[in-house]
Amino acid sequence: MLSAFLVALREGVEAALVVGIILVYLSRTGRTHLTRFVWYGVAAAAALSLAVAVGLERWRISEDGIEGLMLLVASVFVVTMIVWMNRVARHLRKEIEEKVECYVERPGNAAGWGIFLFVFLMVLREGAELALILRAVQLSTAGLETWIGTIAGIGAAVAVGLFFFKGTLRIPLQRFFAATSVILVLVAFQLALTGLHELSEALWLPSSKAEMAILGPIVRNDLFFFVFIFGAAILLILREWQAASHAKAAAGSLNAAEKRLLKSQNRRQRRWMIAAATASLTVILVLTADFIYARANSAAPAAQAIDPVGSIVRVPVSQAQDGALHLFTVNAGSQSLRFMIIKKPNGWGVALDACRICGAEGYRQDGQNVVCRHCASAIFIPSIGDQGGCNPIGVPARLDGGDIVIDISGLAEKSKEIPR
């Protein structure tokens, strides 16, 4: 949620700045009749960006390698967004005004449609980047949290844009972009690290049990990056507070009117800082509680012992019809074999409670996913038993009447694939 909020806020503020600069310039130069084309461009870009977001949402990616590539591309987009804005921030107003002046000098409707195309492309750039980055963020976080963070970020960006151009909020833009750049670098790092983890899980990159044990819990544990990101945010807030205090101390040489103005500005800044600190604390408490709850529910699930019938194992279908993960153990000579059965949309998932990367660490169920207890990789239930990555090692099985039948020899043979 935090990453989505920060990305949406940054992209939204950049788009709001572009639109605001154009609107102010048209108003100042007496060309307000062209403002409707600005809003046409904004509406068209917003609609196309939303279509891109919906398209990416409906594109249900289940291949770890494709997910990894998308995450890496998104991290590159975040970095290029930071570099671009920091490079043009000082001259942004001048460059936009010069570009707009070139368009408005055209005769007839050509001026309006030139403005429309310019605004459309500028806003679409931000919107398309936002859609892609948020889709990548959603691959490693809960979908609802991503949407909540996105809506809150866009709302905050719109509010900042309105207050800034109405003159009711004084924001030093250079410091704003510098502060958000520091935080977004951490977001880009998180996306890149998660992308590398997904590529390793897909075996597109060399992987090992030790690597997955280190990277997995980091990229799957939102609290890890949450602490880093909010730690950076709190340090930046403290720095701004300190700068405001120094400015107040240096106000001794000002006259009465200037002191009143400075006092009013400092009061407004303190209110924003207090609001930001309060919001940060609230989110910290909520995510910490969620983290504690998740840890409390991550213990190894119990497995039901089952006796073989000759050389086979029979599990009644009725025991696994509920769609939940069911774990069983069976003795094969001196070896105890642990396997899972879960109802899938297209049949049954029968696999060892182990994988070819992390070994016999086992799995637990988390909603629509089965999660590796070693590296925290989320396994899409319909893919259980498929080859590759951290997927459980599939075991041949068949239906016989009302039973799922598994050959013990098949279990024993597949168990040889578990790394020791």
What mean pLDDT do residues 348-370 have? 86
pLDDT reading at 296 higher than 50: no
Dihedral sign from CA coordinates of 34, 38, 44, 47: negative
The least confident of 8-17, 115-124, 129-138, 195-204 is: 129-138
The alpha helices in 29-108, defined as continuous H runs, are 35-58, 64-88, 92-104
Q: Which of 218, 228, 224, 213 is nearest to 390 (CA)?
A: 213
pLDDT reading at 218 higher than 80: no
Q: Which of 292, 359, 358, 363 is nearest to 327 (CA)?
A: 363
What mean pLDDT do residues 164-187 have? 64
Max avg pLDDT among 34-43, 148-157, 238-247, 263-272: 34-43
What mean pLDDT do residues 33-39 have? 88
Higher pLDDT, 331 or 206: 331
The least confident of 94-98, 149-153, 247-251 is: 247-251
Burial letters 103-122, b for 16+ CB under 10 A, else e: bbeeeeeebbbbbbebbbeb
**Which tokens belong to 350?**
């029968």
Higher pLDDT, 40 or 299: 40
**Which tokens belong to 372?**
């590796």
Q: Are strands 326-332 and 335-344 parallel, antiparallel or unpaired?
A: antiparallel
- pLDDT tens-digit map of 60-85: 555 666 777 877 887 887 788 777 77
pTM: 0.56
Mean pLDDT, the chain, rounded, equals 76
Distance CA 83, CA 305 (A): 58
pLDDT reading at 156 higher than 50: yes
pLDDT reading at 348 higher than 80: yes
What mean pLDDT do residues 377-384 have? 80
**Which tokens belong to 50?**
């939303």
- pLDDT tens-digit map of 240-263: 666 666 655 565 566 777 777 777
Residue 342: what pLDDT? 93
Share above pLDDT 90 across residues of the chain, in percent, rounded to a whole number? 11
Distance CA 291, CA 298 (A): 11
Residue 95: what pLDDT? 81
The least confident of 47-56, 169-178, 269-278 is: 169-178
Domain 304-415 indexed as CATH 2.102.10.10: yes
Contact (Cβ atoms closer than 8 angstroms) between residue 136 and residue 193 = no
Farthest CA pair distance, the chain: 97
What mean pLDDT do residues 251-279 have? 68
Burial grade of 278 (CB within 10 A; 0-12, 13-18, 19 or more): exposed
SS3 of residue 343 by DSSP: strand
Higher pLDDT, 290 or 95: 95
Residue 137: what pLDDT? 62
Residue by residue, DSSP assigns 184-237 as: HHHHHHHHHHHHHHHHHHTTSS---HHHHHHHHHHHH-HHHHHHHHHHHHHHHH
pLDDT reading at 48 higher than 50: yes
What mean pLDDT do residues 334-362 have? 88
Residue 338: beta bridge partners? 329
Residue 324 has what DSSP assignment? S
What mean pLDDT do residues 193-210 have? 75
Long-range own/partner contacts, residues 96-99 (CB < 8 A, 24 or more apart): 96/18, 96/21, 96/22, 96/25, 97/21, 97/25
Max avg pLDDT among 86-95, 226-235, 380-389: 380-389
pLDDT reading at 88 higher than 90: no
Distance CA 15, CA 23 (A): 12
SS3 of residue 328 by DSSP: strand
Distance CA 291, CA 223 (A): 7
What mean pLDDT do residues 210-221 have? 66
Distance CA 100, CA 191 (A): 36
**Which tokens belong to 353?**
């409670």
Distance CA 328, CA 344 (A): 17
pLDDT reading at 308 higher than 50: yes
pLDDT reading at 47 higher than 80: yes
What mean pLDDT do residues 336-355 have? 90
What mean pLDDT do residues 185-194 have? 77
Max avg pLDDT among 79-93, 157-171, 321-335: 321-335
The least confident of 143-157, 213-227, 320-334 is: 213-227
The least confident of 128-142, 200-214, 305-319, 403-417 is: 128-142
Q: C-alpha angle with apex 302: 301 to 305, nearest 5 degrees?
A: 145
* pLDDT range class, residue 325, cuts 50, 70, 90: very high
pLDDT reading at 291 higher than 70: no
